[in-house]
Amino acid sequence: MPTEPTRVSLTDDGPVLVHGPVEIELPDGRRVRSDRPVTAVCTCRRTRRPPFCDTSHRTRVREEERP
């Protein structure tokens, strides 16, 4: 019985979106799991909840766009 592959969406200015359950292995070897329908994995390293995105990148972009 074939299964659907895990879908990963790359965003322009934000996180990597993983569709379906995911287990992430951290650099120190620990593993964290998310069973959410879509998990946002931080790529900007500004999050306070690594490895998950907490939208901290949005605040930084707004500050940089100010005149």
Per-residue pLDDT tens over the stretch 32-54: 999 999 999 998 888 888 899 98
Asked whether residue 1 is domain-assigned, the answer is no
Helix (H, G, I), strand (E, B) or coil at 56: helix
- Residue 13 to residues 16, 42, 47, 48, 61: CA-CA distances in angstroms? 10, 11, 14, 17, 9
pTM of the predicted model, to two decimals? 0.73
Residue pair 19/9 in contact (Cβ under 8 Å)? The answer is yes
Asked whether residue 40 is domain-assigned, the answer is yes
Asked whether residue 60 is domain-assigned, the answer is yes
Asked whether residue 3 is domain-assigned, the answer is no
Residue pair 49/41 in contact (Cβ under 8 Å)? The answer is no
What pLDDT, on a 0 to 100 scale, did the predictor assign at position 1? 64
Q: Looking at the 3D structure of the chain, how many domains does it have?
A: 1
Q: Which domain holds residue 30?
A: 8-65
Strand ranges of the sheet holding 38-41, from the earlier edge strand across to the other edge: 7-10, 16-19, 38-41
